[in-house]
Amino acid sequence: MTIKKIGVIGAGAMGGGIAHVAALKGFEVVLCDVEQRFVDGAIARAAALMDKNIAKQKMTEEEKQAVLQRITTTTNIEDFAAVDFVIEAIIEDLAIKQNTFERLDKICRPEVILASNTSSMSVTVIAAATSRPDKVVGMHFFNPAQVMRLVELIRGYSTSDETIKTVTEVAQTLGKVTVESKKDTPGFIVNRVLFAQFLEAIRMVEEGVATPQDIDTAVTLGLNYPMGPFQLMDSIGGIDLTVKIADYFYDETKDAKWNAPHTLKSLLRAGRLGKKTGAGWYNYDK
């Protein structure tokens, strides 16, 4: 099947960015969220990013308008009946994702692949809500989707080779490099490595080995990472998402190494969720 129209459900930072990338690469896009203000916000962010490129003479106004015209916004999931491929980018809540995929399964044509941008949750469980588990796959983009080159592809238990092939082709058309997680394990590749680093760094603080500031400095200068683990927890998703994913890892594996440390939970209880609330591991100007 030729894929010309991509449906993106969820117009937050990830979904809006994915829709923007798809439209930049020539796909028709249907961008859906529960309220019009969310999709309007995604369009405004895409337009502002393209305005910066116009100012740098990397894009023309005509090219910007052509990209925006390829994006149709909606609050009605039934509009996905016309799409050739779906990427879900909603909240990291397994029950909500299952409900969404159950609805998409009934709306979309039988041959349409349903991809989830989940960063950690079971593709197999999500696929079980559908009648097409062979056509359900993890397609994990990284934020910002317009910049980050990697897309993780995750096989659910029933994901077919044909589905992996098609999703790989779509990702490459979007200008991405793909890696494949052959097993549907919590965290897949990147977040399994990343959260091990997060939790070990927190335990080092709790043991009095070093401060968050010194650990971040050591990691950025010693490992040449763009930012340290505490800076990253504050920036990407926030403390609440970090706790939620760590808890998911523990619930799935019952391995104590994934148990969220007390200090991390204390930040959550204090409402220090990172940059988005003005304070996390560090204090920020709101």
| Catalytic residue list contains 207 | no
N-term to C-term CA, the chain = 48
| Catalytic residue list contains 262 | no
Over residues 274-280, the mean pLDDT reads 94
pLDDT of residue 55: 95
Cα(152)–Cα(83) distance, rounded to whole angstroms? Answer: 22
pLDDT at 128 over 80: yes
Q: Which residues contact 191 (CB under 8 A, 6 or more apart)?
A: 119, 120, 245
pLDDT at 270 over 70: yes
| Catalytic residue list contains 78 | no
Domains and CATH numbers, the chain: 5-181 (3.40.50.720), 191-277 (1.10.1040.10)
Over residues 43-56, the mean pLDDT reads 96
Over residues 276-280, the mean pLDDT reads 94
pLDDT of residue 236: 83
Q: Of 188, 143, 199, which is closest to residue 20 (Cα–Cα)?
A: 143
Q: Of 226, 224, 199, 227, which is closest to residue 213 (Cα–Cα)?
A: 227
Measure CA 66 to chain center: 26
Over residues 92-118, the mean pLDDT reads 96
Q: Are 188 and 155 in contact (CB under 8 A)?
A: no
Cα(273)–Cα(257) distance, rounded to whole angstroms? Answer: 22
How would DSSP label each residue in the chain? ----EEEEE--SHHHHHHHHHHHHTT-EEEEE-SSHHHHHHHHHHHHHHHHHHHHTTSS-HHHHHHHHHTEEEES-GGGGGG-SEEEE---S-HHHHHHHHHHHHHHS-TT-EEEE--SSS-HHHHHTTSS-GGGEEEEEE-SSTTT--EEEEEE-TT--HHHHHHHHHHHHHTT-EEEEESS--TTTTHHHHHHHHHHHHHHHHHTTS--HHHHHHHHHHHS--SS-HHHHHHHTT-HHHHHHHHHHHHHHH--GGGSPPHHHHHHHHTT--BGGGTBSSSB---
Query: Exposed, middle or buried, 26 (CB in 10 Å: 0-12/13-18/19+)?
Result: exposed
Main-chain phi, psi angles of 68, to 5 degrees: -65, -35
- Highest averaged pLDDT of the listed ranges 125-134, 232-241, 251-260: 125-134
169-228 tens-digit pLDDT: 999 999 999 999 999 999 999 999 999 999 999 999 999 999 999 999 999 999 999 999
Q: Choosing from 28, 117, 122, 152, which is the catalytic residue? A: 152
pLDDT at 286 over 80: no
Q: Choosing from 28, 88, 120, 140, which is the catalytic residue? A: 140
pLDDT at 92 over 90: no
Q: Choosing from 116, 119, 120, 181, which is the catalytic residue? A: 119
Higher pLDDT, 33 or 143: 33
C-alpha to C-alpha distances, 221 to 76, 114, 214, nearest whole angstrom: 48, 41, 10
Over residues 163-167, the mean pLDDT reads 98
| Catalytic residue list contains 140 | yes
